[in-house]
Amino acid sequence: MYKSTEELTPHQLYNIFIGSVVPRPIAWVSSVNSQGQPNLAPFSFFMVASANPPVVCFCPALKAVEKDGQKVVVPKDTLRNIQETKEFVVNIVSLPLAEKMNESSGNFAPEVDEFQKAQLTAEPSRLVSPPRVGEALVSFECKLRQVISFGSHEGAGNLVLGDVVGFHLAEDVWHHNHIDRSVLQPIGRLSGNDYCKIENIFQMNRPEV
């Protein structure tokens, strides 16, 4: 079976991506608006873009909301905040924090503080204004490098590239210059309501050329 992108609906395209590009790491992004109001939300279109210089990226999509009886397309609070302040923090989601991460994923009004909603500690960052999740074992402080927009319609992605200016690492997760996955216990995003744990790890040696 072959499907061209032109014959697929946006919903079908989305389902193909989230069902086949798995598991996806989760960027639990904390940000603040220009008035200092904090926001916390998870995004699974997330990856490292460069190690030297250290750059991470994630991709929040535009959403449609009802306003004065009409549907309008607006950026999510996280994207709007980052565009205003040029700063954000990426927190890594460990298994014990899964429920709190899920709690923060609700479509709350901009004035709602997801840190309070999920009963999380908003720990001050060192070099950026948004707080980090105090319970997270790994957090990246980031300054905005660039936003690449893929459109102004509902569902259009916005690739946010951030320069990592500092790392917060729990003492027991950083061993011999490596992250101890058994301590971090990161979870991955699948499709629908499904998530996964890192289990049944196998190794393969790279071929010598």
Quote the pLDDT of residue 147.
98
Decide if 179 contacts 173 (C-beta within 8 A).
yes
d(CA 103, CA 105): 6
Quote the pLDDT of residue 26.
98
Quote the pLDDT of residue 158.
98
Quote the pLDDT of residue 70.
87
Quote the pLDDT of residue 185.
98
Burial of 106 (0-12, 13-18, 19+ CB in 10 A): exposed
DSSP 3-state of 78 = helix
Show pLDDT as tens, one digit a residue, over the chain (209 residues): 999 999 999 999 999 999 999 999 999 999 999 999 999 999 999 999 999 999 999 999 999 988 888 889 999 999 999 999 999 999 999 999 999 999 999 989 889 999 999 999 999 999 999 999 999 999 999 999 999 999 999 999 999 999 999 999 999 999 999 999 999 999 999 999 999 999 999 999 999 99
Q: Write the DSSP string, 181-197.
A: HHHH-BEEE-STT-EEE
Quickly list H helices, 36-158: 77-85, 98-103, 114-117
Quote the pLDDT of residue 94.
98
